[in-house]
Amino acid sequence: MENTMPILLVPGLVSSPRIYAPVIPALWRFGPVTIANHIRDDNMGAIARRILAEAPPRFALAGHSMGGYIAFEIMRQAPDRVAKLALINTQARPDTPEATARRRALMARAQNGEYHAVLDELFAGFVHPSRQGDAALRQLVHDMGDDVGPQAFIRQQTAVMSRPDSRPALAWIRCPTLVLTGDEDNTIPNMLSVEMANGIHGAKLVILQDCGHLPQPEQPQATCDALAEWMRG
């Protein structure tokens, strides 16, 4: 390929580089791929600053779930450095009081030695209903949880709870944008992806069929196809 573009991928909550493994070969053809480290800080501003300090000068940016919240913060801090944006199974809204209360309960359990039970509880909302019995997907969620660890999980939840409302910023996004979601995401409903796509000028919305909150391992080919089209656009 004559023109290549560095690609920066940001994982989600309690998620590690493993989440992007199914799509990296397809993306690698378009340019060097980097996975952001998002487990070291407990607020969105600091997470984004550290990622930007380690990122290429200009890049295509994809954020999944919590990674989407970080992507919005990167757009606030350095919009000129982002050539393309992909928002995967995420939302622009801030936390609700109910969501924050649930996060605090999960954090307390993780702190008290119930981290793997927390991962099992999260798994139920992460995957399409038809995949509740998928042992490989459950193992992936546990492996990624072990990559992150309970203390970084607590830092991540702290950052997520205090994230700002990104809806006012949607109209200011001018780079080519893909909004990707699943038809049955029980963690972040796809109506919130529709809201983002409607608010971003020229955004393309893709809703994958038979897919929950983890499109990369749940529907790898369809996810690769959507991301490849995004990079070619």
Is 147 contained in some domain? no
* Residues contacting 35, CB < 8 A, separation 6+: 9, 10, 11, 17, 20
Is 59 contained in some domain? yes
What's the distance, CA 130 to chain centroid? 22
Is 151 contained in some domain? no
Q: What is the pLDDT of residues 23-80, one digit of tens each?
A: 999 999 999 999 999 999 999 999 999 999 999 999 999 999 999 999 999 999 999 9
Report which DSSP code applies to 3: S
Tell me the residue type at 142: H
Distance CA 230, CA 27 (A): 10
Q: What is the pLDDT of residues 96-136, one digit of tens each?
A: 999 999 999 999 999 999 999 999 999 999 999 999 999 99
Q: How many CB atoms lie within 10 A of CB 101?
A: 12
Is 114 contained in some domain? no
Is 109 contained in some domain? no
Is 27 contained in some domain? yes
The count of domains in the chain is 1
Is 133 contained in some domain? no
Q: Please, which residues bridge with residue 179 across strands?
A: 87, 205
CA angle 126, 185, 227 (to 5 degrees): 95
Is 25 contained in some domain? yes
Q: What is the pTM of this model?
A: 0.97
- The CATH number of the domain where 173 resides is what? 3.40.50.1820
Query: Which domain, by its residues, includes 161?
Result: 7-95+157-232
